[in-house]
Structure formats: structure tokens, C-alpha cells
Amino acid sequence: MSAEPARERTSNAAARVFFLGSAGGLPAYLPLSSTRVLAEASLVIIEPQLRHILQQEEMQLRKDHTLIEVNNFDEVFAAVRSVRSNSQCDEIVAWLCVGDPLSDGEICSRPVHEVMALCSAAGMKVGVVATLTYPQIGSMRFGMHLPNTYVRARIGAEEEVSLPKTGDLLLHVLPGALEAASKSLRKAGYKASEPVFLVTCDQNILPPEQTTVGKLARIKDEYGSHHLVAVGPYLNNPRIEWTQTRPLNGWKVLIPVTNSLDPSLVRRLQIYGATHTAVPTMSIEPPRSKTALERCVHGIVEGNYQWVVFTSVHSVRIIIKQMQEYGLDARCFAGIRVAVTDEQAENELKNWGINPDFVPDERTASGLAEEFPFHDDLLDPIDCVLVPKAEVATDPMVAGLEELGWQVEEVTVYRAVRAAPPSPEIRDSIKGGDFDAVLFTSSSAVRNLIGIAGKPHASMVVVAIGDATAKTCEEMGLEVAAIAPEPNPSCLVEVLANFVEERRALQIADGKLPLRPSQRRRRRKKRS
């Protein structure tokens, strides 16, 4: 009989700890395997400088997860003891480190393998999810082939190293060591006028991956961050600035939000190289009396309506919430047709199990009225249409439906009031021109943003969704650069991207440096 391993006693077994690389602190380079571990982890341990990675919209963490931040190695010891004492055998711990845990990774300025040894000594099993090292990020960023390139992975602040003069050099420079790297390059024979590409990897600047093209004598450490430095003949390769192929590379975009921030809009901005700041301009409040809301829900359940028309995602959410409070579900809409104009409202209905029966080609209230079917006494036994809405007029749509033979019942299910002002820093940035562009998705977003934060700086590129929103911008004294022909977020970003590409081409044709609006404003301010 073959010997079987003794059954483990798991009552005192600790969790399994996975050490994850942070890809230079740049979320765009984080591997999919790391996000999977983070999604499963009940405990996440990080340094404060990596907190921004967990704040990415795509990052899905457990709702019951615990977060521990460590600032020094004493707190690392305490974190290891806490994990050993309090974790269960079926739990996963994600420990996010700076760099790659298999090569240049660090936790509180100490090599990752030291912390791994502490966990192993405490009886915990450890795992590693590797990521890109700083040199690999530099290789991708500059399009350089590592086998043909001399790489000095790390240069410290007090460290001058011997570097060869031949070939292309790619250096990983630690925080505070840019001056030491410059001295090493000069000792190797590089002239002060030598072209240099410098990439700053810092989550506190926008964009977090900033490129500087200049001379060796002029490179400065403005952020105290990790840097990637490239010198050599390869810098003459026009492909080295491949990030410029992203139409909105480095652009800072302001998004006044009325309903909720559309994920597809954010993703499209990120794909095109932009960063965004969302400013809520509207707050959704319950109606002054819930009697009408309760009555319309009873009417839906009892089948008093032939159609229910939703023109906003808020009305959908409020009706669903009220039904759930009664213990009801999507089956309440059996036999009732549903029409919707707002894309987010349509997605909300589908998530609840309702596929709308009618969506107009023009996703507006007036577009719905123009395309809505006539009332037919033979086919439509009930002639009543329910329109859950905010405390705003929908007269054009109501009049259009009534002309088609329908009896329209409007019910106020929520109040849309102006949101609280944003922080003073954001208000100053809006009025001071620190943003490059602003995307308006509705007329109310225009009026509310100016009301709570002030008028955007004249240098900002204004893009509006539809002619009505553009007209409101002009009435408020804003010059509209482009109008999205279709009322969807992706089209809005695409219109901005096309405008920026045309603008850049004209600047280059005129012999001008293609600067972003915020950069031009700062240059004029410095000259003055």
C-alpha cells in the first residue's frame, strides 16, 4: 500500500500571499493576471504611492476587502504578523510592490525577496505575479530592442557607473539619481548637447507617463520619480514618439456629469491617450411627495398602461427601486411595451431583464415623438402612455404623442437639482485653463457647470453633443469647436480626436510647435 500524505490541519493555516508587480506604477501596463488576484483578494497591502492603481475604474475589488498601507519596514513586519494571525487558509492576500517582484521589485525601499522570506518564515505560502521591469517599459516606450541595447537597470543617487560610448543606452534611474546619471553619461564621453529622451514614471503628474525631449545638460528631476533615460543613435528613429499616434496623447479633458459617467466614454479617452476629470453638475433628489410614484407603480402592476416611456436613466432606476421595495421584479412589465431614448437607461433596463420594444433612431424626446407608432383602436386596447420624469417640462414630446392619439400621463418621480460646487482646486483649474478640453453632454451640463464652477477658460476646446447643447454653449458665451452629430459618448470623443488631429496638422504646417491649449497658456504666462 502506497503511503498517503498526512491530512493537513487547516484550522491554523494562514492565507496565501501573492506578490504583484506594479509595472512602474503605470496602471496601463498592469497584467491581467494581477487584476484577477486583486479581484479575489480579501486583504490588499500597498504603499501609499501605489494607491492610484486600486482607484482605476476597471479594477474590481471585493466589497469586503481590507486595505493595509505600509510606509516603512517596521509596518511591513506588523503587516506580516497581522496576516499570519488573522487570515484564514482559504483567503488570498495581494501585496502590491514597486517594480517587478522577480527582478527590481521593492517594498518600502527593500527588495521584495526579503518580505517573501518573512512570510515564508511565518508559515505562509507565497506566490508571485511578474510584470514588466522598468527597462522593459523603456524598451516598449522607445521601441528599442533590449538584446541590442546596453541596459543599466538601476542608477542610485550616490552611484556613478561606467557606461560605454557605443550603441544605444537605456537607463533606469532611481528617484533623486538623475544628476548622477547625467554625470555618468558625461564621463562616458556624451556631450552636454547630446539629444536625450526622458520618461518620467510618476502617478502624481498628468499624464503619468511624461516624455521630455531635450539635451543632456538640461535634464532636471522635477518630480523626484523613477525615470527612463535613452541616449544614442536610435533617437533619430521617427518611430520613437509612437505615443503621438494616439490622437489625444497627454490631453486633460473635463467632463461635466449630469446623469452618470459613461464607462465607454472613459475607455475611449484612455485608449486615445487622454486623462479625464469628472465634475458632477446635478444631484438627484426624491420627489416632494411619493404618492404619485407609488400610484404609477401600482398602475404598471395592474396593467393600466399600454406603453411606459423612459427618457432618462434616473427614472428607470427609481421605478426599479420602488418595485424592488414591493418585492417585485421585471415580470411586472409583462404585457406592457417599453420605449426608451437614453442609452444608459436602455442598458439599465436590459440589466434588469427588460428589452425595450421601441428605441428611436434619434435618441431625443422629440425624436421619439416623431417615430412613435400611432394609436390604433383595434390593436391597442389601452390608449394610455406613462412617462416617469423629473420636474422638467416634456411638452414637445407629450404634444407629439397626443397628436398620435395617445393619452399621456406624466409622473414626477425625481427632482434634478444643481450639484454642490467642486473643490477650489478644480474651480481654479477650470477658470485658469489647466484643462485642454471640455465635453458637454447636455444643455443642463453647460448651465450647471458654469453655475457651480465658473466659465471655462477661453483656451479650452469645447465639444458639444448635438445642436441644442452647442446652442446653449454659445448662449453662455462659449465658443464651440466641434459638435458630435450623434448623441453617444464614443462619437463625442471621436469628434474631439478629429479636431485635435486637424489642429495639430495645421500647427505643424505653419511651422509651430504642436502644443496643447494648457501648454500654450503656461508658456504665455511664463513670458509675461
The pTM (predicted TM-score) of the whole model is 0.62
Q: How far apart are alpha carbons 223 and 214 in whole angstroms?
A: 17
* 154 against 457, higher pLDDT: 457
Tens digits of per-residue pLDDT, 371-401? 999 988 888 888 899 999 887 655 778 889 9
Q: How far apart are alpha carbons 135 and 149 in whole angstroms?
A: 10
Task: Report whether pLDDT(154) > 70.
Answer: no
| 59, 38 contact by CB (below 8 A) | yes
Q: How far apart are alpha carbons 246 and 250 in whole angstroms?
A: 9
Q: How far apart are alpha carbons 114 and 121 in whole angstroms?
A: 11
Q: What is the pLDDT of residue 46?
A: 94
Q: How far apart are alpha carbons 9 and 437 in whole angstroms?
A: 60
Task: Report whether pLDDT(12) > 60.
Answer: no
**Nine-digit cell at 292?**
404619485
Q: What is the pLDDT of residue 376?
A: 87
| 287, 412 contact by CB (below 8 A) | yes
Q: What is the pLDDT of residue 386?
A: 94
| 15, 87 contact by CB (below 8 A) | yes
Instruction: For residues 128-136, give the mean pLDDT.
Output: 82
Q: What is the pLDDT of residue 338?
A: 95
Task: Report whether pLDDT(477) > 90.
Answer: yes
Q: What average pLDDT is seen over the chain?
A: 82
Query: Which residues, in sequence order, are bridge partners of residue 277?
Result: 254
Q: What is the pLDDT of residue 19?
A: 95
Among residues 441, 447, 432, 444, the alpha carbon closest in space to that of 463 is found at 441
Q: What is the pLDDT of residue 448?
A: 93
Q: How far apart are alpha carbons 163 and 369 in whole angstroms?
A: 73
Residue in this structure with the C-alpha cell 417585485, named with its chain if needed: 328
Distances 477 to 447, 458, 494, 521 between C-alpha atoms, Å: 11, 10, 24, 20
Instruction: For residues 133-145, give the mean pLDDT.
Output: 69
User: Angle 66-67-68 (CA atoms, 0-180°, nearest 5)?
Assistant: 125
Quote the DSSP letter at residue 515. Answer: -
Q: What domains, with CATH codes, occur in the chain?
A: 16-132 (3.40.1010.10), 136-231 (3.30.950.10), 252-281+421-526 (3.40.50.10090), 290-381 (3.40.50.10090)
Give the confidence band of 58 by pLDDT, cuts at 50, 70, 90.
confident
Q: Cβ neighbours of residue 415 under 8 Å, at least 6 residues apart? A: 284, 285, 286, 287, 288, 390, 391
Count CB neighbours of 243 within 10 A: 14
| 6, 26 contact by CB (below 8 A) | no
Tens digits of per-residue pLDDT, 217-276? 777 766 667 777 878 766 665 555 555 567 888 899 999 998 778 888 888 898 888 889
Distances 312 to 266, 444, 468, 510 between C-alpha atoms, Å: 20, 13, 17, 46
Q: What is the pLDDT of residue 109?
A: 84
Buried b / exposed e over 144-179, threshold 16 CB at 10 Å, is beeeebebbebbeeeebbebeeeebbbbbbbbebbe
> Phi and psi for 314 in degrees, rounded to 5?
-65, -40
Instruction: For residues 8-16, give the mean pLDDT.
Output: 56
Q: How far apart are alpha carbons 378 and 405 in whole angstroms?
A: 13
Order of all β-strands in the sheet with 437-440: 275-280, 252-257, 437-440, 461-465, 480-484
Buried b / exposed e over 380-390, threshold 16 CB at 10 Å, is beeebbbbbbb
What type of residue sits at position 335?
Answer: G
Task: Report whether pLDDT(349) > 50.
Answer: yes
Q: Beta strands 480-484 and 461-465: pairing type?
A: parallel
Instruction: For residues 200-205, give the mean pLDDT.
Output: 56
Lowest mean pLDDT among 343-347, 426-430, 433-437, 468-472: 343-347
> For the chain, what's the residue count?
528
Q: How far apart are alpha carbons 302 and 319 in whole angstroms?
A: 15
**Nine-digit cell at 325?**
421595495
Give the confidence band of 422 by pLDDT, cuts at 50, 70, 90.
very high
E-only strand ranges, 282-432 = 282-285, 307-310, 337-340, 384-390, 407-418
**Nine-digit cell at 114?**
526579503
Tens digits of per-residue pLDDT, 69-78? 999 999 999 9
Give the confidence band of 4 by pLDDT, cuts at 50, 70, 90.
very low
**Nine-digit cell at 77?**
513586519
Lowest mean pLDDT among 38-52, 196-210, 468-482: 196-210
Residue in this structure with the C-alpha cell 514597486, named with its chain if needed: 98
Give the confidence band of 8 by pLDDT, cuts at 50, 70, 90.
very low
Instruction: For residues 428-452, give the mean pLDDT.
Output: 93
Would you list the DSSP string of 390-423? ESS--HHHHHHHHHTTPEEEEEEEEEEEEPPP--
